[in-house]
Amino acid sequence: MKHAIVTGANGFIGSNTVRYLVSQGVKVTALVHAGHKGNLPKSKLVETFDFELETIKDVQDRLSAGAYDIFYHFAWKGSAGAARADTKLQMANAQWTVEALELAHGLGCRRFVCAGSIMEHETVAAAYTQGNRPGLGYIYGGGKLIAHVMCMSVAAKLGIELVWPEITNAYGVGEVSPRMVNTTIRKCIKGESPQFTAGTQNYDFVYIDDVARAFYLIGEKGKPFHEYLIGSSTARPLKEFLLEMKASLAPELPFIFGDIPFTGINLPLSRFDCSETEKDTGFRAEVSFAEGTRRTMAWLRGMEEEN
């Protein structure tokens, strides 16, 4: 891999992947939301272009075809918060992903790597379980699933290699969203007891440094039209992760389990198996959850002190 295009390059996962690509000597054309490039590494290997997802097709007129190897697509609107339940937005994201794939083909990229999600599998299970009433979060998962299916067919028609990594739950330094790890750590910093479901559902978390390295290895070594799970290889019931966090960050603070009802789908541990990713690409996560949450807490504490 010599030259990659990256959409959503200033985002949490995108910027860390760009940083890792640069560390490997890869030139990066970074597509970012207008004026947003503060998270990108300062390097001669990085060139930025402003773009908007709604008009991603227009990028082809601004870039020279034939100069790129791989197209990484991370840009996705409404990946956290209330927008995850916006049906029109999530459907639009799926269409924009197809248009990004077509752009990659038009620019001569040999392969297209998109950030999928384990929620695709949860969404299928939620939709096809008799009598189940899925929560609104599955609308986001549905958007990812639709994008996956449509890109598989379009890529096969165009003759471009599609590789589909699926992230379990990425977290770490640089993330500002109100997702579970951040919310829990912020409560620990304030001395507030966090509340959870019973925590019996199977779960996994993977630290951002490992995620970035995984995207590089999957882009470089992954097989065409394969999906690869990006996880810790230590999936287990959620409560066990949270107790590991408690022991690492706030051993004296009570963590309260069972006060919040769980309305989601509990995937079997086999669905979190990362052995194919390791076999084909050599990736295996290196940062433990205890260490990753310590790093994240130190960063969040520093951010709060600055503010």
Distance CA 159, CA 248 (A): 48
Instruction: Yes or no: say if 155 and 112 are a contact pair by the CB < 8 Å rule.
Output: yes
Residues paired with 32 in a beta bridge: 50
Query: Whole-number mean pLDDT of the chain?
Result: 96
204: Cβ–Cβ under 8 A, 6 or more apart, which residues?
Answer: 118, 168, 169, 231, 232, 234, 235, 236, 272
Which of 28-37, 278-287, 289-298 is predicted least confidently?
A: 28-37
H/E run at residue 15: helix 12-23
Q: In the chain, what are the domains?
A: 3-167 (3.40.50.720)
Q: What is the pLDDT of residues 10-33, one digit of tens each?
A: 999 999 999 999 999 999 999 999
- When computed from its CA atoms, the radius of gyration of the chain, rounded to whole angstroms, is 19
Q: Is the per-residue pLDDT at 230 higher than 80?
A: yes
Q: What is the pLDDT of residues 251-284, one digit of tens each?
A: 999 999 998 888 888 999 999 999 999 999 999 9
Instruction: Give the tokens for residue 73.
Output: 């697509």
pLDDT (0 to 100) of residue 35: 85
Q: What is the pLDDT of residue 165?
A: 98
pLDDT at 81: 85
- The DSSP secondary structure of 203-227, one letter per residue, reads E--EEHHHHHHHHHHHHHHPPTTEE
Lookup result for tokens 């949860």: 122
Residue 272: predicted pLDDT: 97
> b/e string for 89-127 if b means 16 or more Cβ within 10 A?
bbebbbbbbbbbbbbbbbbebebbbbbbbbbbbbbebbe
pLDDT tens digits along 41-91: 999 999 999 999 999 999 999 998 888 999 999 999 998 889 999 999 999
pLDDT at residue 263, rounded to an integer: 82
Kind and range of the H or E element at 257?
Answer: strand 256-257
Residue 204 has pLDDT above 80, yes or no: yes
Give percent above pLDDT 70 in the chain: 100
Which amino acid, 196? F
On the question of pLDDT at 307 being above 80, the answer is: no
**Cα separation values, 289 from 198, 221, 274, 285, Å:** 19, 26, 16, 10
pLDDT in tens, 168-183: 999 999 998 889 999 9
